Amino acid sequence: MAQYSLLNEETGEKTELPVKAGTRGPLGLDVGKVYAQQGVFTYDPGFTSTCSCDSSIAYIDGDAGMLLYRGYPVDQLAKQSSFIEVAYLILNGELPQKDELETFDRSIRRHTMINESLKRLFEGFRYDAHPMAMLCGVVGSLSAFYHDTTNNQDPEHRKIFAHRMIAKIPTITAAAYKRYFGQPFIYPQNHLDYCSNLLQMMFAVPSEPYHVDPVAAKALDVLFILHADHEQNASTSTVRLAGSTGCNPYAAVASGIAALWGPAHGGANEAVLRMLDQIGTVENVKPFMEKVKNKEAGVRLMGFGHRVYKNYDPRATIIREHCHNVLKHFGQENDPQMELAMELERIALEDDYFKERKLYPNVDFYSGIIYKALGIPVNMFTPMFAIARTVGWVAHWAEMVSDPTTRIGRPRQVYTGADIRDYQPMDQR
């Protein structure tokens, strides 16, 4: 294996950098001793070249456009598995046997209710609060309800937390939706599968029967599989960093929800639909693209580009195919926003600006079109992402706290502020 070291050419001091090799992917150079031995930090804002941990949950090959969950390609899982089976896989590392899946599924179904006092918490929000704001607040508050089972070192407590979090996040999300529309909250129906239950909690009303459309439930299930995990993305890294302090895990997940909300991350699905609305018609695509390329006032082609993928995001390919089927089912084959999105993609993929920078559609480019076809309003798109990604957050948190080598995450800085100076009394400033 190649040897690496860091040499101070002035003093001749040399620090050997141990090499860590994973199952796949580039080697990691362990720079942990550099400061102790040479008194210098390594510098990598944005973490372009920095690994923060070992992880066995997901793997991305950005050049090949490949995403694996526990070794299984995401496209195989999207075609053949279910979200609940994928959640089991991500949490436990292996695909379940039939009885294991049944037990897991039963446990998730039995934990769907939320404490009645949480209804009052929802009532305290402004009716028009963004649902992500409500999600952050309510998930953070779960620490106040389930403090009994948060001994992070107890595997049984970790399991109960994981099941509660995955089971309750759809109920909380649906309640945020109902709060927005001023409709009564709808209780979970545990005979329904995960996505059907979410749909009925969002769209049922007490005054009439509601029948879940299996095509809608399946469409959500596939989207949730594709969003379930994405290794050390910004929100997962946030959950890990917060969790590394030993805090209550619900609080760590709340911090992940806050990070997901940003338009550079999970908020992009909402931003894509707003962008398509703003562009309006196919004729406006070219002038819009000019603005993007001229970097006018920070205009970006939302749903394009990715820190890791320098090729087609494999999730985007699956979602685009899926989009056509869903739109057809709902009689929206000629959806103008789908046409607009396809035209934007066509132009971008032929354009040197995008080619040179290896910018391709990401998972968020087409997902909003499916959500919209299912009747889900634009401000609920990122909460949908949060439901799915909860599985990844919980799995990463559990992996981190059960790793005996975990230490508090504490980056360093290059200080650029004022040098040491004496305090000046007010009359001498």
Under rule CB under 6 A, residue 170 binds ligand CMC: no
Give the pairing of strands 4-7 and 14-17: antiparallel
Q: Is 364 in the site for ligand CMC (CB under 6 A)?
A: yes
- Tell me: does residue 302 bind ligand CMC (CB under 6 A): yes
Q: Is 359 in the site for ligand CMC (CB under 6 A)?
A: yes
Q: How far apart are CA 67 and CA 59, in angstroms?
A: 6
Q: Is 322 a catalytic residue?
A: no
Residue number with CB closer to ligand CMC (356 or 427): 356
Q: Check residue 393 for interaction with ligand CMC (CB under 6 A).
A: no
- In the numeric block, the tokens 């596939």 are attached to 222
Cα distances from 271 to residues 124, 296, 379, in angstroms, run: 27, 17, 9
For the bound state, the minimum distance from the C-beta of residue 327 to ligand CMC, rounded and expressed in Å, comes to 21
Q: Which two tokens stand for residue 262?
A: 């940003």
Catalytic entry in 111, 130, 230, 306: 306
Among 152, 255, 362, 382, binds ligand CMC (CB under 6 A): 362
Instruction: Indicate left, alpha or beta for 140 from its phi (over 0: left) and psi (-120 to 50: alpha).
Output: alpha
Closer to ligand CMC by CB, 157 or 307: give it: 307
Catalytic residue among 105, 229, 335, 364: 364
301 is an interface residue for ligand CMC by CB under 6 A: yes
**Window contacting ligand CMC (CB under 6 A); options: 94-102, 113-121, 237-245, 357-365:** 357-365
Rounded to the nearest whole angstrom, what is the least distance from the CB of residue 265 to ligand CMC in the complex? 4
Site for ligand CMC contains 303 (CB under 6 A): yes
Q: Which is nearer to ligand CMC, 9 or 356 (CB)?
A: 356
Look at residues 128, 135, 218 and name the one whose alpha carbon lies nearest to residue 171.
135
Enumerate residues 195-234 that contact ligand CMC by CB under 6 A: 233
Question: What is the number of the residue whose Cβ is closest to ligand CMC?
Answer: 305
User: Residue 8 in contact with residue 34, Cβ under 8 Å?
Assistant: no
How far, rounded to the nearest angstrom, does the alpha carbon of residue 116 sit from its chain's CA centroid? 28
Mark the segment that binds ligand CMC (CB under 6 A) among 53-61, 161-169, 247-255, 300-308: 300-308
Q: Is residue 265 annotated as a catalytic residue, yes or no?
A: no
C-beta of 88 vs 261, nearer to ligand CMC: 261
- Enclosing H/E stretch for 165: helix 155-181
**Backbone torsions φ then ψ of 153, nearest 5 degrees:** -85, -5
Nearer to ligand CMC by Cβ, of 88 and 381: the residue is 381
Q: Among residues 328 and 357, whose Cβ is nearest to ligand CMC?
A: 357
* Residue 392 found at the interface with ligand CMC (CB under 6 A): no
Among residues 254, 268, 273, 285, which is the contact residue for ligand CMC, using CB under 6 A?
268
Give yes or no for a contact between 409 and 241, defined as CB atoms under 8 angstroms apart.
yes
- Asked if 390 touches ligand CMC (CB under 6 A), the answer is no
Concatenated DSSP letters for 356-424? HTT--B-THHHHHHHHHHTT--GGGHHHHHHHHHHHHHHHHHHHHHT-TT-----------SPPP----
Under rule CB under 6 A, residue 304 binds ligand CMC: yes
DSSP 8-class letter at 205: B
Distance set, CA 403 to CA 152, 165, 312, 398, 400 (Å): 11, 21, 33, 9, 5
If one asks whether residue 355 binds ligand CMC (CB under 6 A), the answer comes out as no
Q: Is 316 in the site for ligand CMC (CB under 6 A)?
A: no
Q: Which residues pair with 59 in a beta bridge?
A: 68
Q: Can you say how many angstroms the Cα of residue 162 is from the centroid of all Cα atoms in its chain?
A: 16
Q: Cα(274)–Cα(182) distance, rounded to whole angstroms?
A: 24
* Residue 274 binds to ligand CMC (criterion: CB under 6 A): no
Scanning residues 227 to 266, which ones bind ligand CMC (CB under 6 A)? Answer: 233, 264-266
Residues annotated catalytic, as ranges = 306, 364
Q: Which residues bind ligand CMC (CB under 6 A)?
A: 233, 264-266, 268, 292, 300-307, 357, 359, 362-364
